Amino acid sequence: MGDSWLSAYDACDRRGHGIMEKINERDLHPRGSSLYQKASANFRTEMMKFDTELESLKQELVQSATQHRLTHSEVDRRQVMIDKLITKKRRIDQAAKHDDHTGQRSDLFGPFADDDGLWGSRATSSLQQDVTNPFTSIGDIQQQQRHLIREQDEGLDALSGVLNRQKQMAIDIGNEVESQNELIDDIADHVDTTNQRLITETRHVRVIDKKSNTC
């Protein structure tokens, strides 16, 4: 039987790809048209499902970590996978905002299934082409540079999110350990009490046994 978490992750990732395709299809229609509005409604519905699936993946990973169902390395690996989905969600939000020029989104995202695994960001290669092209304006180069800086900021935000979530998981694990220690202490107290009662009852039996022999 396969891992249900990994299956759910693959389904969420595929839904993200489908959402990006829906955005591109929406922008083929004139803004304000019935087809555009219908495509926008479909996009919002799929985005709500994507958010729900992503949140479910986060919660299940936290539970698996606190209950020690996964190794630390596997928890870290799956956290990185979730962070990739979060980064992809940001790219979807950016694509949805750039709905006035489809060409702008193609510059931002490029084709699907790009090697970077983030649904086709190719800003770096575009910048390299623009720098070597003598007909490229300074404004275009500056725009590409600003886009690269934004991507770097997103990467730093994603890294910060990883560290914060790992810290939270460590706190949750520590709280769980403290809870288990309290349970162990309670059990130890009960054992001590029961042991003391056994000692007392044993003494009573010995006293009764002596009296019986005397009689």
Sorted by sequence, the CB contacts under 8 Å of residue 96 that are 6+ apart come out as 23, 43
Residue with tokens 């905002």: 97
Better-predicted residue by pLDDT, 215 or 166: 166
What domains are there in the chain, each with its CATH number?
Answer: 4-186 (1.20.58)
Sorted by sequence, the CB contacts under 8 Å of residue 126 that are 6+ apart come out as 107, 144
pLDDT of residue 215: 63
Which residue in 16, 15, 4, 14 sits closest to 57, CA to CA?
A: 4
Residue with tokens 């304006």: 137
CA torsion angle 15 20 21 22 (round to 10): 90
pLDDT of residue 179: 81
Please give the C-alpha separations between residue 71 and each of 13, 39, 66, 109, 168, in angstroms, as whole numbers. 23, 43, 11, 35, 17
Average pLDDT of the chain to the nearest whole number: 76
Residue 43, burial from CB neighbour count under 10 angstroms (0-12, 13-18, 19+): buried
Q: How many residues does the chain have?
A: 215
Pick from 32-36, 80-84, 135-139 the range whose average pLDDT is largest.
80-84
Label residue 13 by pLDDT band (50, 70, 90). Answer: very high
Q: What is the mean pLDDT of residues 82-95?
A: 88
Q: How far apart are CA 189 and CA 27, in angstroms?
A: 69
pLDDT of residue 125: 40
Q: How far apart are CA 79 and CA 163, in angstroms?
A: 10
pLDDT of residue 139: 66
Two structure tokens written together for 170:
């460590």
Q: Is the pTM of this model over 0.95?
A: no
% of the chain with per-residue pLDDT over 90: 14
Q: Coil, strand, or helix at residue 110? A: coil
pLDDT of residue 162: 79
> Comparing 27-41, 47-61, 151-165, which segment has the lowest mean pLDDT?
151-165
Label residue 111 by pLDDT band (50, 70, 90). Answer: very low
Q: Is residue 133 predicted with pLDDT exceeding 80?
A: no
Radius of gyration for the alpha carbons in the chain, expressed in angstroms and rounded = 30
